[in-house]
């Protein structure tokens, strides 16, 4: 049965729209994988001599145990933000004579082969081998320690899945957990109760008594069974249906009628944002991240590095543009085929998206005006960055949207939801953020701060004047990729 499920997973991968990525992107992902593999391997090899040099007279393995709780917290954090839950389309399997437990076990075992589980091994195994080579502890003790470390890593793997499933739909329930972690961190910082010290002491006991390595292994098995039970209870078509009905929001946004022929499209986008958590979260995050400038403007070091100020200006005035614009037209994935079947000019569709995003940039630029407190140059630079976003970055985002082939389900939780995110979304940040900083820096060096601002302003103004031509060109690209995008949006797990 496992062989058949693996075969189905492979066919789903090679037949999905996302499998047609360019060779360049695949090479980039392989390069990043090799980079992190080499980095973790070098850490594993160099950790023992590093500890010997900077902690003379102490056993390296005891030092590692002392800081291991901090490492596990860091590992859990990056897994929480980056690692996706294992998925499998169960609908076709529900009508077949297949035991639920076999399918659930396949999903959970598939998660064991995650790259996130492979990386810690590159530290654990070389460090353990060096300890065996130094012959300072019995081989059985070091092997038991290595088994315990693997058990802890896998425990973090399955604990991450439980936390995500429990709290993504109810963010308020996560507050007590965050509060407990914050209290423990404060107790650790003020040396009232050093939990990391006692955790390290417990790991030291594994070296003295190797049979204690069974405890992390039992922890891993317990969390595995917890996940299995939870998934088995949700192995039904109606398991994800919301039992509590909600009344529909009937806002019509009639004020958009003043925009003439673009009004219907603007109404659809505004209703989409207003009625769904994920796009609405983009608004909340945009308002929250307006305070990002306080990190830089209050530090004299960054005030002497104008490139950082451009980065901040582009970011603050364009954060909604980036959060919302990079997923155009994936927001409309559920009804995109219907849109394409109607007599809707693609130019009008893109103009409506462009108008909405432009409005967001203008609003955020106005909201950044209190930063005039830090000087007129910062105030002027933020406005220039807004003009650059409107003239250059918005058309760029709409063009990148033509590469979107992954659907977004609007009824899914917005918290740490990376659905619809592909290589294009990760790579688009380079031209959006880096190019304006680089261009400003060149003219800043050649002339002055004001010269760099004038160049960015001129680029944004030229882009705005050529908006119609840019939209016409992008519309042609969308039309050429029309059917590939429709096919991609039909695949729910692509």
The secondary structure of 413-443 as a DSSP string is --TT--TT--HHHHHTHIIIIIHHHHHHHHH
Rounded Cα distance between 88 and 458, Å, is: 50
Token couple for 178: 């965050």
> Quick one: how far is CA 126 from the chain centroid?
30
84 compared with 208, residue with greater pLDDT: 208
101 compared with 380, residue with greater pLDDT: 380
HSE-up (13 A, CA, CB side) for residue 184: 14
Rounded Cα distance between 407 and 490, Å, is: 7
Per-residue confidence (pLDDT) for residue 95, from 0 to 100: 60
Q: Residue 177 — pLDDT band, cuts 50, 70, 90?
A: confident
202 compared with 1, residue with greater pLDDT: 202
Nearest Cα to Cα of residue 199 among 149, 159, 259: 149
**Tens of pLDDT along 284-312?**
777 777 777 777 787 777 777 788 888 88
**Tens of pLDDT along 19-39?**
544 444 566 667 878 888 999
Residue owning tokens 């680089």: 438
Nearest Cα to Cα of residue 73 among 201, 163, 171, 141: 163
Contact 108, 224 (CB under 8 A): yes
Rounded Cα distance between 320 and 286, Å, is: 5
Token couple for 345: 């000019």
pLDDT at 494 over 50: no
Q: Residue 168 — pLDDT band, cuts 50, 70, 90?
A: low
Q: Which residues of 221-231 are buried (b: 16+ CB within 10 A; e: fewer)?
A: eebbeebbeeb
Rounded Cα distance between 202 and 190, Å, is: 21
Contact 65, 203 (CB under 8 A): yes
Task: Count CB atoms within 10 A of the CB of residue 392.
Answer: 22
> Model-level pTM greater than 0.75?
no
SS3 assignment, position 395: helix
Give mean pLDDT, residues 344-363. Answer: 85
Contact 292, 315 (CB under 8 A): yes
Token couple for 45: 């090899």
Token couple for 187: 């107790």
How far is the CA of 213 from the CAs of 143, 147, 184, 207, 240, in angstroms? 9, 7, 25, 9, 38
Residues counted in the chain: 494
Average predicted confidence (pLDDT) for the chain = 79
Give mean pLDDT, residues 442-455. Answer: 87
In sequence order, the 6+-apart residues with CB closer than 8 A to the CB of 346 are 475, 478, 479
Token couple for 267: 């109404």
The answer to whether the peptide bond before residue 329 is cis (omega within 30 degrees of 0) is: yes
């Amino acid at each position: 049965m496992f062989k058949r499920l693996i075969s189905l997973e492979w066919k789903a991968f090679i037949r999905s729209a996302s499998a047609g990525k360019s060779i360049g992107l695949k090479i980039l992902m392989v390069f990043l994988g090799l980079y992190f593999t080499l980095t973790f391997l070098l850490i594993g090899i160099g950790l023992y001599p590093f500890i010997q040099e900077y902690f003379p007279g102490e056993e390296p393995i005891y030092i590692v145990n002392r800081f291991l709780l901090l490492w596990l917290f860091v590992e859990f954090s990056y897994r929480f933000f980056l690692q996706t839950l294992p998925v499998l389309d169960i609908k076709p399997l529900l009508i077949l004579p297949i035991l639920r437990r076999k399918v659930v076990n396949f999903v959970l075992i598939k998660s064991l082969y995650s790259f996130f589980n492979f990386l810690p091994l590159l530290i654990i195994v070389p460090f353990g081998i060096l300890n065996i080579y130094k012959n300072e502890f019995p081989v059985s003790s070091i092997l038991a320690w290595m088994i315990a470390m693997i058990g802890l890593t896998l425990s973090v793997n399955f604990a991450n899945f439980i936390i995500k499933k429990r709290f993504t739909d109810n963010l308020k329930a996560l507050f007590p957990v965050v509060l407990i972690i914050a209290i423990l961190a404060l107790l650790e910082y003020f040396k009232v109760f050093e939990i990391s010290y006692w955790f390290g002491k417990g790991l030291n006991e594994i070296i003295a008594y190797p049979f204690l390595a069974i405890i992390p292994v039992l922890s891993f098995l317990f969390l595995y069974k917890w996940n299995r039970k939870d998934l088995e209870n949700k192995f039904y078509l109606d398991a994800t249906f919301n039992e509590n009905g909600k009344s529909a929001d009937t806002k019509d946004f009639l004020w958009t009628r003043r925009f003439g022929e673009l009004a219907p499209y603007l109404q659809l986008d505004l209703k989409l944002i207003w009625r769904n958590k994920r796009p609405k979260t983009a608004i909340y995050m945009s308002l929250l991240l307006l305070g990002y400038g306080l990190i830089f403007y209050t530090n004299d070091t960054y005030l002497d590095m104008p490139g950082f100020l451009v980065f901040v200006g582009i970011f603050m005035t364009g954060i909604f543009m980036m959060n919302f614009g990079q997923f155009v037209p994936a927001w409309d994935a559920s009804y995109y085929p219907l849109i394409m079947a109607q007599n809707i000019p693609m130019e009008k569709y893109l103009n409506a998206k462009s108008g909405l995003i432009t409005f967001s940039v203008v609003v955020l630029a106005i909201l950044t005006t209190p930063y005039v407190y830090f000087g007129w140059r910062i105030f002027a630079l933020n406005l220039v960055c807004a003009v650059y976003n409107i003239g250059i970055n918005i058309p760029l985002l709409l063009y990148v949207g033509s590469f979107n082939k992954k659907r977004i389900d609007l009824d899914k939780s917005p918290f740490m939801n990376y659905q619809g995110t592909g290589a294009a979304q990760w790579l688009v940040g380079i031209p959006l953020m880096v190019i304006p900083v680089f261009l400003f820096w060149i003219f800043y060096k050649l002339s002055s701060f004001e010269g760099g601002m004038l160049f960015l302003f001129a680029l944004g103004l030229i882009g705005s004047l050529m908006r119609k031509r840019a939209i016409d060109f992008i519309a042609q690209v969308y039309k050429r990729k029309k059917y590939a995008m429709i096919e991609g949006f039909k695949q729910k797990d692509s």
